[in-house]
Amino acid sequence: MRARRRKVSLRLGVGLLLGTWILVGCAAGASTPPPAPPAPRTVSPPLTPEAVPTPPEDPFQRAIWLYHQGKVGEALEAFQKLENADGRADVQAYIAFCYGRQGKWDEALQAAERALRLDEGLILGYAAKAYALAGRGAFEDALRVLQTAREKAPENVEVAYTTGLVRYLQKAYSDAAPVLKQAVDKDPQRPYTHYYLGMTYYNLNQKAMAIQYLENFLRLAPEAPEAPQVRDLLQRLKRR
């Protein structure tokens, strides 16, 4: 009997002790504040276009600036109003590019050939002629003209840009991408090099690269005619 009572007493003591531990543990747990929620993910603010820079005061440089900003009609008028515009090879080459941007390929070719008659060594004239030929669908002729220009000036940015542009118009996007990238590296301040490179990557289904260069285009030329469509395209690409 005494042994049995000892066992019962021992069990009761152990039970009371365990009960005390449980009560203490529950009380301690109740007083412990819940873990802090994880910090919210930070989202980078969208890139906003930079303000359009002030155009240069020099009439020729201002016309070039208008062209690079996509204001082709204003640029064409500004080039045509320059003193001795008909006798300047560089002006005629830019006029050819302006006509090309307007889809007036015959006028573009005439102006480019006029530029080369005035200065047969003008690389910009070769680039303008190649662009005009490509616009008329004569891609192989355009590439031959650019090859001649490349032999004269291998590192010229106009040659790289126009080669990429011709390949883009040809829808040869895999060939366009590396030369347009070279042109961007040589002169990163040209908006339309970024535009065509971004559109090239878009057509190659390289979304991240397309976003990068199209955003660059908007920062450099926020008021360009293509800007609204580019913003819409960027929104679609970022939703995918």
- Structural domain boundaries in the chain: 54-154, 172-227+234-240
pLDDT of residue 157: 97
Token pair, residue 185, equals 């590296």
- Hey, what amino acid is at 147? Q
Q: pTM to 2 decimals?
A: 0.77
- Do 54-154 and 172-227+234-240 show the same overall fold? yes
Asked if pLDDT for residue 176 goes beyond 70, the answer is yes
- Compute the mean pLDDT over every residue in the chain, rounded to the nearest whole number: 85
Assess contact for 173 and 204: CB atoms under 8 A.
Answer: yes
Assess contact for 118 and 87: CB atoms under 8 A.
Answer: yes
Q: Which CATH superfamily is domain 172-227+234-240 in?
A: Tetratricopeptide repeat domain (1.25.40.10)
Assess contact for 160 and 182: CB atoms under 8 A.
Answer: yes
pLDDT of residue 240: 78
For the beta carbon of residue 169, count every other beta carbon within 10 angstroms.
16
> How long, in residues, is the chain?
240
Tell me what percent of the residues of the chain surpass a pLDDT of 90: 76
Q: What is the mean pLDDT of residues 149-164?
A: 97
Under the banding of pLDDT at 50, 70 and 90, the label for residue 31 is very low
- 23 compared with 150, residue with greater pLDDT: 150
**Using CA atoms, how far apart are residues 179 and 139, in angstroms rounded to an integer?**
16
For the beta carbon of residue 184, count every other beta carbon within 10 angstroms.
22
Tell me the per-residue pLDDT of 191-240, one tens digit each, with 9 for 90 and over: 999 999 999 999 999 999 999 999 999 999 999 999 999 999 999 999 97
Measuring CA to CA, which residue among 106, 158, 116 is closest to residue 136? 106
Assess contact for 109 and 129: CB atoms under 8 A.
Answer: yes
Asked if pLDDT for residue 24 goes beyond 70, the answer is no
**Using CA atoms, how far apart are residues 141 and 147, in angstroms rounded to an integer?**
10
| Fold of the 54-154 domain | 1.25.40
Asked if pLDDT for residue 37 goes beyond 90, the answer is no
pLDDT of residue 3: 44
